[in-house]
């Protein structure tokens, strides 16, 4: 049995989501599976919680494996000596896990950094582990080029790629142009996963932090996922019709417009964000309590709040089992029937 190394064509391609979903599926068949992330990168000084998330759902080992932290901006420029130390550390950890009888899935580094430069450390880790490789390829204009390069980057080790986050209405292009182009280069396309807002959703608590607001009602529902943002401004026609367009939504509305707030509460709303420093009126708070809708109060005006929400990254860390379960469903729906079993046989 060999270790499976999961790489990608860029950061935030969906490696953690895939590794969590794939590992969880394997875990249903055997507890002898572990997913690790030996190297973490960040540009913002944020703590990478992926390794901790893996430890929480894959309990096949009592050994605590910490990630090596490297700056994302210099990941392609790691000094040779440092690179050798990292590779040896990863090799020793994986060997220890394999000796304990565990199948190991490694969430690896991308093949290229944010400037398009190759990350030599990725190739050195794979060579040292003598492992099979699959890649998560983000759907974009460079997808065919990056996927085709896998053969030269990892000779005789590439078992396929998964095209992730395929835009709506692009299936014809993917099926008739992109996949044939990639497979003609010698890389099997294992699945083509459509973009899904649920996987990019934020919790109510995360939104409250982004807009610097306070959850004044419904704190126990702060883990609810929000897929859409709607503005409760000048609503022409029926409020029920307007707010009924989307489910699992956050509605941003001025705090002194209880009429619009009540209309928003009549739909499938995940939370209200009241702007302008207002607290909810008594009857709005009562209705929100009855419908289990959290209310976030913000001092900023609606324009400033929407600017903050527009800056939300389109990717979201996959440290949520609900997203893992949804991605498992997408994998099953958009891959060949035996794909997951074939990958399982590689570990």
Residue pair 306/231 in contact by the 8 Å Cβ criterion: yes
Do residues 86 and 41 touch, judged by C-beta distance below 8 A?
no
Q: Where residue 226 sits, what CATH number does that domain have?
A: 3.40.1390.20
Same domain, 211 and 115: no
> Domain check: are 238 and 173 in the same one?
no
Question: Do 253 and 133 fall within a single domain?
Answer: no
Overall average pLDDT of the 7-19 stretch: 91
**Do both 161 and 294 map to the same domain?**
no
38 and 133 part of one domain: yes
Same domain, 188 and 300: no
Predicted local distance difference test score (pLDDT) of residue 314:
54
Q: Which domain holds residue 212?
A: 202-310
227 & 244 share domain: yes
Whether residue 190 sits in one domain with residue 78 = yes
Task: Answer whether 126's CB lies under 8 Å from 133's CB.
Answer: yes
> How does DSSP assign 30-77, residue by residue?
-S-EEEE--EEEESS-----HHHHHHHH--S-----PPEEEEGGGGGG
Angstrom CA distances, 11 to 8, 15, 108, 135, 138, stand at 7, 9, 11, 12, 9
Residues 195 and 206 in one domain: no
Same domain membership, residue 70 and residue 177: yes
Once rounded to an integer, what is the mean pLDDT over residues 152-177?
93
Q: Predicted confidence band at 211 (pLDDT cuts at 50, 70, 90)? A: very high
Predicted pLDDT of residue 227? 92
- What is the Cα–Cα distance from 108 to 67, expressed in whole angstroms? 11
The first and second tokens of residue 272, run together, are: 């209200």
CA distance 94 to 289: 50
Q: What is the mean pLDDT of the chain?
A: 88
What's the mean pLDDT in 137-159?
Answer: 91
Please state the φ and ψ torsions of residue 296, each to the nearest 5 degrees.
Answer: -105, 130
Residue 139 has a pLDDT of: 92
23 and 124, same domain (yes or no)? yes
> Given a cut of 60, is residue 106 above it in pLDDT?
yes
47-66: pLDDT as tens digits: 667 878 888 888 765 456 67
Domain count, the chain: 2
CATH classification at residue 72: 3.40.50.300
- Exposed/middle/buried for residue 32 (C-beta within 10 Å: 0-12, 13-18, 19+): middle
Under the banding of pLDDT at 50, 70 and 90, the label for residue 79 is: confident
Shared-domain flag, residues 47 and 102 = yes
Give the pLDDT score at 315: 55
What pLDDT, in 10s, does the model give residues 238-269?
Answer: 667 788 888 999 999 999 999 999 999 988 89
């Amino acid at each position: 049995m060999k270790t499976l190394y999961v790489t990608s064509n860029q950061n935030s391609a969906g490696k953690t989501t895939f590794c969590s979903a794939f590992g969880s599926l394997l875990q249903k068949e055997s507890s002898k599976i572990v997913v690790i992330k030996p190297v973490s990168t960040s540009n913002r000084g944020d703590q990478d919680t992926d390794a901790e998330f893996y430890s929480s759902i894959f309990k096949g080992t009592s050994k605590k494996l910490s990630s090596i932290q490297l700056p994302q901006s210099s990941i392609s420029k790691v000094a040779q000596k440092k690179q050798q130390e990292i590779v040896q550390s990863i090799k020793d950890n994986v060997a220890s896990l394999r000796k304990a009888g565990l199948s190991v899935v490694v969430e690896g580094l991308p093949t290229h950094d944010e400037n398009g430069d190759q990350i030599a450390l990725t190739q050195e880790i794979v060579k040292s582990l003598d492992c099979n490789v699959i890649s998560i390829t983000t759907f974009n204009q460079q997808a065919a080029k990056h996927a085709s390069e896998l053969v030269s980057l990892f000779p005789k080790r590439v078992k396929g790629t998964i095209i992730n986050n395929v835009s709506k209405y692009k299936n014809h292009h993917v099926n008739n142009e992109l996949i044939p182009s990639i497979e003609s280069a010698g890389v099997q396309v294992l699945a083509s996963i459509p973009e899904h807002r649920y996987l990019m959703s934020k919790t109510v608590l995360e939104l409250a932090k982004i807009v610097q607001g306070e959850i004044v009602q419904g704190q126990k529902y702060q883990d609810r996922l929000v897929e859409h943002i709607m503005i409760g401004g000048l609503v022409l026609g029926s409020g029920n019709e307007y707010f009924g367009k989307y489910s699992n939504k956050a509605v941003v509305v001025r705090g002194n417009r209880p009429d619009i707030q009540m209309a928003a509460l009549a739909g499938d709303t995940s939370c209200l964000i009241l702007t302008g420093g207002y607290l909810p009126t008594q009857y709005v708070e009562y209705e929100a309590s009855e419908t289990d809708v959290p209310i976030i109060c913000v001092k900023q005006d609606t324009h400033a709040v929407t600017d903050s929400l527009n800056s939300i990254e389109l990717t979201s860390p996959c440290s949520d089992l609900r997203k893992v379960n949804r991605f498992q469903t997408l994998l099953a729906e958009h891959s060949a029937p035996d794909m997951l079993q074939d990958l399982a046989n590689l570990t």
